[in-house]
Every structure is written in structure tokens, then in C-alpha cells.
Amino acid sequence: MIKVIVQDPNWTEIGSFEAEKWKTITDLAQKYDVEIPFSCGGWACGLCLCEIVEWKELVNGSFLQNPLMELHENEVLTCISAVKDEYFEKEWDYTIMLKRRF
């Protein structure tokens, strides 16, 4: 199982959900009622930007397309990011920790 925990900009945990193959992090957050702000739904506004605090290597930040804005090394736009397919085949459990920018 791959769990995603979301924190607000003040490091307070606001919710979590289980990752699903081929689903963006923003789509899953909406499905499980975990608030990650978004607007454009596709790499332009930056509202969905999160810092990956733990397990960045599990996240494909260009799952739908390449981001058009400059991002720091641990940042992703969650509207175009998803957990990498290969990690769903592993037997281990992971907990990805995200911190919202906004």
C-alpha cells in the first residue's frame, strides 16, 4: 500500500489517502476530500504546488505533462503528478508526505 499524507503550509496534517495507479495526486485528494488548492488543472497556475517531504523518488512530477514553471528539487505540481507505476508492484508499504505551498 502507498499512502499519501498531506500537510498544510504550517506542517499540520490535513488528511491522507491511498495512492492509485494512473491517478494524479490532485484527483485523489479531491476524491478523498483532502484539500489541495487547484485552479487550472494543468501546470499553469501553481496553486497545487506541494513539497515532497518524504519519498520524492516515488512521485513522477511529469505524469501528465512537463511543468511549465521552475520548481525546486522537492516540489511538484500535484495536478500533473502521480505515483510511479513500478512502486505499486513492490511488496513494501510506503508513506509519501506532502506539504502544500498554499
Instruction: By CB under 6 A, tell whether 40 contacts ligand FES.
Output: yes
CB of 1 to ligand FES, least distance (A): 26
The DSSP bridge partners found for residue 6 are: 15, 98
CB 87 within 8 A of CB 94: yes
Quick one: which H or E segment has residue 28?
A: helix 25-31
DSSP H or E stretch at residue 55: none
- Point out which span in 9-17, 34-42, 57-65, 85-93 binds ligand FES (CB under 6 A): 34-42
Segment interacting with ligand FES, rule: CB under 6 A, options 3-11, 41-49, 57-65, 89-97: 41-49
Q: Which of residues 60-79 bind ligand FES (CB under 6 A)?
A: 77, 79
